[in-house]
Structure 1
Amino acid sequence: MQQRNDTPASPAAGGRFADYAAARRGAARMAVAPGVDIAYVVDDYTDGWKNAPVVMLLHGVAESAEAFIGWVPQLARHCRVIRVDLRGHGLSSPVGEHDALSIADMADDIDTLARRIGAPVHVVGAKLGAQIGLELAQRAVPWMASLTLAGVLISPGGALGKWVPEWIGLIEQSGVEGWARATMPGRMGTALTPEGMAWWTRYMAMAPAATVKACIRMFPRLAEPARLESIVCPTQVIVAVQPEQPGAYDQRQPVAEVRRWQTRIPGSALVELQADSYHIAATHPDACAAIALRFIERISS
Structure 2
Amino acid sequence: MTEASTFTASDGETIAYYIDDFTDPWRDAPVMFLLHSAMGNSQRFYSWVPGLARHFRLIRMDTRGHGGSSVPAPSVPLTMDRMVDDVEELMGRLGIEKAHLTANSAGGYVAQNLAIRSPGKVQSLVVVGSTPGLSPDALQWLPRIKAEGLTPFLRDTIHMRFDLASTDPGMVEWFLEQTAENDEDFVTRFIGYWATQEWSGELHRIACPTLVILPGAETVGTAASYDAMKERIPDAKLLAYEHMPHNIADMMADRCVADILAFHREKFSYPKP
On the 8 A contact 2:200/2:229 being kept in 1, the answer is no
> 2:29 is paired with a residue of what secondary structure?
coil
Q: What are the superposed Cα offsets for residues 176-210 of structure 1, whole Å, 9 maximum, x if unpaired?
A: 32233233221223342222211111111111223
* Correspondence for 1:265 among 212, 222, 233: 233
State the number of aligned residues.
267
Report whether the alignment pairs 1:189 with 2:167.
no
Report whether the alignment pairs 1:213 with 2:188.
yes
> 1:49 is paired with a residue of what secondary structure?
coil
Paired position in structure 2 for 1:203: 178
On the 8 A contact 1:96/1:210 being kept in 2, the answer is no
Q: What are the superposed Cα offsets for residues 114-169 of structure 1, whole Å, 9 maximum, x if unpaired?
A: 23333321111111101001111111342211110111133314342333333333
Paired position in structure 1 for 2:16: 39
Gaps of 5+ in 1: 5-25, 245-249
- What's the offset of the Cα at 1:29? 0.6
Q: Could you tell me which amino acid in structure 2 is paired with residue 132 of structure 1?
A: V
Pairing of 1:7-86 with structure 2 (within 5 A): 26-86=3-63
Structure 1 vs Structure 2 CA RMSD = 2.0
Residues of 2 paired with 1:34 and 1:200: CA distance?
30
Cα–Cα, structure 1 residues 141 and 261, in superposed 2: closer, same or farther, change >3 Å? closer
Gaps of 5+ in 2: none
Q: Could you tell me which amino acid in structure 2 is paired with residue 28 of structure 1?
A: S
Cα–Cα, structure 1 residues 273 and 206, in superposed 2: closer, same or farther, change >3 Å? same
Q: Could you tell me which amino acid in structure 1 is paired with residue 23 of structure 2?
A: T
Return 154-163 or 41-50, whichever deviates more: 154-163
Paired position in structure 2 for 1:11: none
Q: How does the TM-score come out when normalised to structure 2?
A: 0.89
* Correspondence for 2:86 among 109, 114, 127: 109
Q: Could you tell me which amino acid in structure 2 is paired with residue 177 of structure 1?
A: T
Residues of 2 paired with 1:71 and 1:159: CA distance?
30
Return 100-109 or 128-137, whichever deviates more: 100-109
Residues of 1 paired with 2:182 and 2:61: CA distance?
15
The sequence identity of aligned pairs, in percent, is: 30
Residues of 2 paired with 1:157 and 1:168: CA distance?
19
